[in-house]
Amino acid sequence: MFKTKLAQINRAVQTPMKTLQKIHAVTIGILLVFTNGTSINAQTDYAVTFKGDTLRGALKIMSFDHIDRVQWSDHGQKEIYTALQVKSIYKSEVYYEPVRYENSIKFMQVVKSGFLSLYNFSTQNMEGQYLSKKDGSGIEVPNLNFRKALSKYLSECPDVAKRLDKGDLKKRDLERIIDLYNACLQNNSDPKVIAAKQAKEIDSDKLLAITNLEEKVQKQNFESKKDAMDLLKDIHSKISKNESIPNYLIEGLKSYLATVSVSKELDALISSLKK
């Protein structure tokens, strides 16, 4: 009798103890998901490089004055890539792409994709939307003179431009305007339209080379530094616009940097311009 009662008491004590142990184990498992490496989101986030590599893990997009960067980390490994090395980013169920914005390359959120794409972007001073064509030319979506600005920007498709001029299409129709323009490029055989579709895309190797050289020169102290930086700015602008670089600019740059320890970066730029 005594043994039976004792066994009943032991079972009564052990049952809640086992329940607590299970709860404790589940809690530890959940914590490990977030502390042993990265969060659940990091398991699905990824970036694709222009070389075709897929980087899965935790991603942190970092904004810079000239070229944005993304930090990738996974299981103790960590590396930083520039917006000239990464083709696309998928982070927290949102897609981002590198977009030329003025004299910089920014990671922008993809809203609508095509030859003409729509992006959301933000800087330290503002937030807005940006339209960009595959050839790299773009325009910030304006609040004032929207129809006039868009009509000029989309002039390769006269039908779309005319409807904007007449007021048939307004800012609230922005995504429809994009669809109409992309459809126009797809089906139109007009020489102007064909030229727009075949426009040369921006050369990322040249942009990366000029940016690396600018950053290296900026850290140096020498007498002709201002003149060298002005030349680099001019060359950077021409590369961004897919314009040819006159030989006198390169020769002038070489003379300014003759005594500066940037030969590796300078050679890389000259090599990229010869391609």
- pLDDT tens, residue by residue, 203-229: 678 888 888 898 899 889 998 898 888
What's the whole-number mean pLDDT along residues 144-170? 93
Using pLDDT thresholds of 50, 70 and 90, give the confidence band for residue 43: low
**What is the pLDDT at residue 31?**
46
Using pLDDT thresholds of 50, 70 and 90, give the confidence band for residue 199: low
Using pLDDT thresholds of 50, 70 and 90, give the confidence band for residue 47: very high
Predicted confidence (pLDDT) per residue in 65-110, tens digit? 888 999 999 988 999 998 888 999 999 999 999 998 887 889 999 9
- For the sheet with 77-82, list strands across it: 58-62, 69-74, 77-82
To the nearest whole percent, how much of the chain has pLDDT over 90? 40
Enclosing H/E stretch for 199: none
The answer to whether 210 and 235 have CB atoms below 8 angstroms apart is yes
Q: Cα(112)–Cα(171) distance, rounded to whole angstroms?
A: 15
Using pLDDT thresholds of 50, 70 and 90, give the confidence band for residue 165: very high
**What is the pLDDT at residue 13?**
44
What is the overall mean pLDDT for the chain?
81
Q: Is the dihedral of CA 78, 82, 85, 90 positive or negative?
A: positive
Predicted confidence (pLDDT) per residue in 174-192, tens digit? 999 999 999 988 876 556 5
Question: Burial level of 48, CB count in 10 A (0-12/13-18/19+)?
Answer: middle
pTM of the model: 0.64
Q: What angle do CA 203, 91, 182 make, to 5 degrees?
A: 50
